[in-house]
Structure 1
Amino acid sequence: MILPVYPPKPRPGDRVAVISPGAGLPGILPLPYELGLERLEKEFGLVPVEYASTRKMGSTPRERADDIHAAFADPEIKAVIASIGGDDQITVLPFLDRELIRANPKPFFGYSDNTNLLAYLWNTGIVGYHGGSVMVELGRPVAMNPLTADSLRAALFTSGPYELRPAERFTTGGGRWENPATFTREPESLPADGWSWLNADRVVEGRSWGGNVEILAWLLMADREIARDPSAYDGAVLFLETSEEMPSGEEVFRILRNMGERGLLQRFSALLVGRPKTWSFEQPLSPEDSARYAAGQRAAVGRALAAYAPDMLTVFDVALGHTDPQQVIPYGGTVRVDGPGRRITVTY
């Protein structure tokens, strides 16, 4: 088992790669992308560097792998940031050169479809960062959410412990990115109820693993980047979240059940569950239906835990993944979950 190490961090003024290992959506939705690039420069002091397929929809897996290699191999690039996710990054993994990437470790930021690359880095021995895409978090209308900006800044530039905080409000929807008017007003938000805890009678510390539930299911089906020896996950902290595709509670339960049947779910010492995305243009749920959807997903996770890991320390509604605000979770880094103190501390 390879123990991941933290790669060196960038400093203001450094060059950072902006790549699209999932989908080249910057090419057809430039408004949030250009805004995200602007904030990288003006608010974070970094110099974004684009690659051949960053704005190219329909790029081949080989082309996207070439961009990943170029970004990691360039000594002037100090971090790599995904523009956004996608739905076929799993096809890029076979083209990656593990030795090239291992020899040139860089902090990589992304989530959603980028769970593929984060799991790959975990197995390569490099700590990655689940969160912080250019188009979504950096390209948020009007301004970045302060909770998001603080977490991303800490993950980018600092090393050491960082305490996560419950969101006081959260955003469920937003305007269409094709419409310039979307970027003239803050997204509407609702009050948040804070974290919910189960089995919060202990303190757990371990390396993190997980990501987007749907992508993890694909990796499991394809048998890609899942440790051959399940003991690799013993004592680790699992974190899970769902996307804007809004899988049903039953689907989430079945994915976790399959992880349990494979002998994975019960290996972890704690579970962090992201606040689920409960609205999309394809499923524009009312506030009441959104609340029912979130409750159904929580119940589905609870059913799976009851069957395979009934004593697991669990925290629901953490601001990770497809939610606004979003906090960055180190992938393969140290996470401490303090049940009695109701505190979560990650190490960036």
Structure 2
Amino acid sequence: MRYPYLGWTGQTIGVTAPSSGLSEELHPMIEEATNRLRDRQMTVQVGQTVWTQQQAASAPVQTRADELNAMLQNPEIDAIIPPFGGERAIDVLPFLDFERIPAKWLLGYSDISTLLFAITLKTGIATAHGPNFVDMRSEEWDETTTAWRRVLATPAGATVTQWTSDLYQTNWNHAERPERYMYHLDAATEWKTIDPAQKQVSGRLLGGCLETIRHLIGTPYGDVVTFQTDQLNEEPILWYFEVSEASATDVHRSLMQMYLAGWFERASGIVFGRTAGGRTVEEYTILDVYETFNELLDIPVFYDLDIGHQPPQMTLVNGASATIMIQGKDSRLDMTFQ
């Protein structure tokens, strides 16, 4: 594994939209986020794809790929953070120049995790699943969101710790901004485990948005077995998933496909982010899904962690050696870049 490094000041952040861009009425989000990073002594370079959106994508696929390739290969750009996710990041994969991708952080979640997952598997370069660029537009950042800076500034060989948030946001309300933070933190956070006897799990982190990375199964961008052998020295994978909108049965089918494809053959555990999705189907609940795979795989299954579409969220590094401990308000994630 190769781990990028982002220093604390004077760094340049590239913003490009390999999935969705912003329609005109949303442009102020980019301007606000740009100002907030500049307030923190960072320079921001915004690409042209960010400002447009048509047919569920920011721009034609070649345009999106060219801009992402250019930012990845530009030595003056120290990290890349797309504005947010979307629907069509998978289009870009055949056009990426994987052999020329340097050790540079790419940070994001939702559909961006499609790219994170593929880049880590194809190159052995660590990628970061965490806040998108528009999540940084408030004057103050909560402690969980702020952790992306500590994580990306962790040198190879070192360990970084993140703790459970106190509160999380149950619903998005873009029309009303809280005074201090962007999020409406309105519910108490509690990391949970299916089996009370299983409160700690370790392994190499790998995962992303369930609804998007499942489409990489059976493609050149989803060869988990080769990645685990060549880059992880066959160490067990600690899978993490976030669910945006899928129903309980859709989550079940996706996990079963991953199981049948061999993704879980050498897994140490699965952790799920809290979700507003997971709609119950004929009395089959999202909790039933977690229990099903806890029994099928006989590995720890944790859920309602700070991952995904109900912020705030931690920054998880694909490929990092990690330990997650559930211990009430002292629950934590330790990651070592080795």
- Report the TM-score range of the alignment, normalised by the length of the smaller protein: 0.7 to 0.9
1:50 match = 46
1:284 match = none
Structure 2 residues not aligned, in runs of 5+: none
1:168 match = 166
Which of 284, 290, 293 is matched with 1:304 structurally?
293
| Contact 2:4 2:152 (C-alpha < 8 Å) held by counterparts | no
| Contact 2:225 2:263 (C-alpha < 8 Å) held by counterparts | no
1:235 match = 236
Distance in 2 (alpha carbons) for counterparts of 1:325 and 1:202 = 22
| Contact 2:169 2:187 (C-alpha < 8 Å) held by counterparts | no
Structure 1 residue 164: deviation in Å?
2.5
Distance in 1 (alpha carbons) for counterparts of 2:271 and 2:180 = 31
Distance in 2 (alpha carbons) for counterparts of 1:261 and 1:234 = 20
Flag as ranges the 4+ runs of structure 1 deviating above 6 A: none
Distance in 2 (alpha carbons) for counterparts of 1:133 and 1:259 = 26
| Structure 1 residues 92 and 78: CA distance shift in structure 2, 3 A | same
2:63 is paired with a residue whose SS is: helix
Structure 1 residue 315: deviation in Å?
1.9
TM-score, normalising length from structure 1? 0.83
| Contact 1:7 1:106 (C-alpha < 8 Å) held by counterparts | yes
Between structures 1 and 2, the one with greater helix share: 1
Summarize the alignment of residues 1-348 of structure 1 with structure 2, pairs less than 5 Å apart: 4-25=1-22, 27-42=24-39, 44-58=40-54, 59-101=59-101, 104-122=102-120, 123-135=122-134, 137-140=135-138, 143-149=140-146, 151-159=147-155, 160-176=158-174, 179=175, 181-182=176-177, 187-199=183-195, 200-201=197-198, 204-220=201-217, 223-227=219-223, 229=225, 232=229, 235-243=236-244, 246-277=245-276, 296-307=285-296, 309-310=297-298, 312-338=299-325, 343-347=332-336
| Structure 1 residues 100 and 45: CA distance shift in structure 2, 3 A | same
Distance in 1 (alpha carbons) for counterparts of 2:95 and 2:184 = 41
RMSD: 2.8
Cα displacement string for residues 25-70 of structure 1 (whole angstroms, at most 9, x for unaligned residues): 264412322221111111x321010123122223011111111111
| Contact 2:247 2:277 (C-alpha < 8 Å) held by counterparts | no
| Structure 1 residues 258 and 305: CA distance shift in structure 2, 3 A | farther
| Contact 2:322 2:334 (C-alpha < 8 Å) held by counterparts | yes
The amino acid across from 2:255 in the alignment is: L
2:84 is paired with a residue whose SS is: coil
Structure 1 residue 224: deviation in Å?
4.4
Aligned length: 319
TM-score, normalising length from structure 2? 0.85
Structure 1 residues not aligned, in runs of 5+: 280-288
2:285 is paired with a residue whose SS is: helix
The amino acid across from 1:8 in the alignment is: Y
| Structure 1 residues 171 and 342: CA distance shift in structure 2, 3 A | closer
